[in-house]
Amino acid sequence: MGSMTVPTLTLNDGNEIPQLGFGVFLVDPADTERIVADALEIGYRHIDTAAIYGNEEGVGRAIAASGIPRDELFITTKLWNAAQGTQSAYDAIDISLEKLGLDQVDLYLIHWPTPKRDLYVESWKALEQIKADGKTTSIGVSNFLVEYLERLATETDTIPAVNQIELHPYHQRPAETAYGHDHGIVTESWGPLGQGKYPLLELPEVTSAAAAHERTPAQVVLRWHIQQGHVIFPKSNNRARIAENFALFDFELTPDEQAAIGALERAGRVGGDPQEVN
Ligand code: NAD
């Protein structure tokens, strides 16, 4: 066990998820195989993709070429909004598996609740069946507010294993993380660096910790997520940054540093509003 070993978290269905992965939102399909191959070579074993990213084939080619045993990998993909509902969800997972070249994924998520369509309960029942059919090991949701999680708890039999939500120091999602904590739902932070849309990496709370630990500001923000107990999969096209973002397990923020970053909350969403994406 080297100092760079990625810890795993245990999901509420008993499966294990690596706490750090590599996300491929906005990775060009033409470059995906090469960039995911870089990530796998650096040591990442958890890849977060989605049908709508258009790059599942590239992820699949990189997995196949890597020779890494399937059981050492954790692959997530997501049901796109247009495929919500029961029959279309069954078709969508088959299309994703075909593109990925896999018999099953490790985690299948409802990408957005799309509340105006009002199909997420039906889609969730389809995901329960998709899991029962062995096409995914775990099922979860993304961009779910507490009211939507409560509806799943009332109207279905399965608590999601994860809720993947926009989360970074400017937008910490206290309601969703508390609900997750109380109900055994792991929080995955998407946009862990705020997608570069905020000057998070220039804030003194971040740069002073970076200087103290001889780390980069990005490593400090990512380490903050790890110590909060969140799963993350930062994205970069740049091999040096992909390696930098993997080097999070041989230093630790002090409680004061962790608290100073925690005090940056300002309800600063950079992505879509879960009530309005439909
Ligand atoms: P992110 O916060 O990971 O930001 C990525 C950007 O940060 C990069 O484009 C780069 O400009 C910058 N960056 C990365 N590493 C850096 C470093 N070491 N130093 C300086 N800058 C660096 O945002 P993201 O890609 O949107 O989120 C991560 C992953 O989350 C995605 O790839 C995707 O898998 C997932 N995601 C999910 C949803 C959803 O709705 N479920 C939405 C967005 C993203």
- The answer to whether residue 213 sits within a structural domain is no
| DSSP conformation class of 168 | B
Three-state secondary structure string covering 156-204: CCCCCCEEEEECECCECCHHHHHHHHHHCCEEEEECCCHHHCCCHHHCH
Q: 22 alpha carbon to ligand 1 midpoint, in Å? A: 9
Q: Is 259 contained in some domain?
A: no
pLDDT tens-digit readout, 127-147: 999 999 999 999 999 999 999
CATH number at residue 131: 3.20.20.100
For atom 8 of ligand 1, which residue has the closest CA?
Answer: 236
d(CA 129, CA 92): 13
Phi first, then psi: give them for residue 184, nearest 5 degrees: 75, 30
What's the rounded mean pLDDT across residues 5-31?
97
Condensed to tens digits (0 to 9), the pLDDT of residues 185-222 reads: 999 999 999 998 889 999 999 999 999 999 999 999 99
Three-state secondary structure call for residue 9: strand
Distance CA 134, CA 104 (A): 7
Task: Give pTM, 2 decimals.
Answer: 0.98
Mutate to test the pocket of ligand 1, among 52, 108, 120, 195 (most ligand atoms within 8 A of CB): 195
C-alpha of residue 232 to centroid of ligand 1, in Å: 9
**CA–CA separation, 41 vs 39, rounded Å?**
5
Q: Residue 251: inside a domain, yes or no?
A: no
Pocket of ligand 1, beta carbon within 6 A: 23-25, 48, 111, 142-143, 164, 190-196, 201, 218, 233-236, 241, 244-245, 271
Asked whether the CA dihedral 202, 171, 260, 193 is positive or negative, the reply is negative
Q: Whose CA is nearest to atom 36 of ligand 1?
A: 190
- 151 assigned to some structural domain: yes
Phi, psi of 186 (to 5 degrees): -70, 135
What is the extent of the structural domain holding 144?
Answer: 8-197+225-238
Taking residues 225-243, what's their average pLDDT?
Answer: 98
- Rounded to whole angstroms, the Cα distance separating 50 from 109 reads 9
Q: How far apart are CA 236 and CA 133, in angstroms?
A: 34
User: Quick count: other Cβ atoms within 10 Å of Cβ 25?
Assistant: 16
C-beta of residue 220 within 8 angstroms of C-beta of residue 261: yes
Q: Does any domain span residue 262?
A: no
Catalytic hit among 53, 108, 120, 148 = 53
Nearest residue (by CA) to ligand 1, atom 14, is 236
Residue 108 annotated in active site: no
Secondary structure (3-state) at 1: coil
Token readout for 135 is: 């096409």
Is residue 264 assigned to a domain? no
Contact in structure between 146 and 181 (CB atoms under 8 Å): no
Q: Is residue 39 part of a domain?
A: yes
Q: Rounded to the nearest whole angstrom, what is the distance from the C-alpha of residue 114 to the centroid of ligand 1?
A: 22
Residue 37 located in a structural domain:
yes
Residue by residue, DSSP assigns 13-24 as TS-EEESB-EE-
> What residue type is assigned to position 156 of the chain?
T
Q: What is the pLDDT of residues 48-93, one digit of tens each?
A: 999 999 999 999 999 999 999 999 999 999 999 999 999 999 999 9
Q: Which atom of ligand 1 is nearest to the CA of 272?
A: 40
Number of domains in the chain: 1
